[in-house]
């Protein structure tokens, strides 16, 4: 399970065979290491290696940042593996800016981080962000952090009615496409109901396209039938 730590030192080392090692000191007390990826395909996928390349073979830029990593004991000491972010505060701030006040979700563990920082926990277990994002709350859905407007009208999709609406109107509903090579069905995300469509080769040995279309998202006005259902349930 990943945890959040503050990087207090970052250095580069070498193994006896000349391979690059990333060394981090976490919370001023824990030294951990990670072997830099060797294969180019792994290097492209590793966020810390990208920081290493961008920093002219340095990872100094992560010092002072809060990161999300998994720690494991090995014969060589404490090792770390990549979590969701090497700057959870900065990366979450980018998501806030990009969302423009709309709901979104992320695997960045910002909820647990703010909880550790003694942010006030609301009655519904959500956390209200500070200015200039005080109009947004975050909450946990499993391991996913959901960010959403904390003031919504009574006739919109909310976290409180999302699952009821999905189960009543969309779950297991058959979508006729008129094409044997084109399958569509509804899916539930932490913030919306979407329609997923896949187009296959005739033998269905290969997926030619896979697209998601948002049907209804948090904050959007409910169709009359959906709203009546919610009112009748109260």
pLDDT of residue 178: 72
Is residue 8's pLDDT more than 90?
A: yes
Say whether pTM exceeds 0.75: yes
Instruction: Kindly report the average pLDDT of the chain as a whole number.
Output: 90
| pLDDT computed for residue 32 by the predictor | 94
- The pLDDT value recorded for residue 119 is 95
4 pLDDT above the threshold of 70: yes
Domain 3-85 bears CATH identifier 2.40.50: yes
Domain boundaries, the chain: 3-85, 88-149, 162-233
Q: At which residue do the structure tokens 């340095």 appear? A: 58
pLDDT more than 90, % of the chain: 68
Say what the pLDDT of residue 20 is: 93
* Alpha carbon 142 to its chain's center: 11
pLDDT in tens, 96-140: 999 998 999 999 999 999 999 999 999 999 999 999 999 999 999
Could you give the CA distance from residue 233 to residue 2 in angstroms, rounded to a whole number? 39
Maximum average pLDDT range among 18-22, 54-58, 205-209: 18-22
pLDDT tens digits, one per residue of 190-215? 999 999 988 877 665 677 788 899 99
- 97 contact partners, CB below 8 Å, separation of at least 6: none
pLDDT at site 151:
87
In the prediction, which pLDDT does 203 show?
63
Biggest CA-to-CA distance, the chain: 70
- Contacts for 104 with CB less than 8 Å, ≥ 6 apart: 95, 146, 147, 191
Instruction: List, for residues 67-80, the tens digit of each pLDDT value.
Output: 999 999 887 788 99
């Amino acid at each position: 399970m990943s945890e959040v730590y503050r990087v207090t030192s970052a250095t580069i080392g070498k193994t006896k065979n000349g391979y690059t090692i990333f060394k981090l000191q976490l919370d001023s007390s824990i030294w951990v290491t990670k072997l830099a990826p060797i294969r180019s395909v792994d290097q492209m996928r590793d966020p810390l290696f990208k920081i290493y390349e961008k920093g002219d073979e340095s990872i100094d830029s992560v010092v002072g940042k809060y990161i999300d990593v998994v720690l494991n004991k090995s014969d060589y000491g404490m090792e770390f593996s990549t979590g969701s972010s090497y700057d959870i505060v900065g990366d979450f701030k980018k998501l806030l800016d990009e969302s423009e006040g709309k709901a979104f979700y992320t695997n960045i563990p910002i909820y647990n981080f703010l909880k550790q920082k003694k942010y006030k926990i609301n009655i519904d277990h959500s956390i209200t962000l500070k200015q200039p994002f005080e109009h947004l709350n975050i909450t946990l859905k499993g391991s996913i952090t959901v960010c959403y407007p904390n003031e919504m009208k009574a006739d919109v999709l909310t976290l409180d009615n999302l699952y009821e609406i999905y189960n009543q109107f969309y779950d297991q509903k058959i979508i006729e496409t008129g094409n044997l090579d084109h399958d569509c069905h509804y899916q539930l995300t932490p913030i919306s109901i979407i329609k997923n469509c896949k187009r296959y080769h005739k033998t269905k040995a290969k997926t030619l396209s896979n697209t998601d279309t948002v049907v209804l998202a948090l904050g959007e006005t409910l169709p009359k039938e959906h709203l009546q259902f919610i009112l009748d349930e109260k």
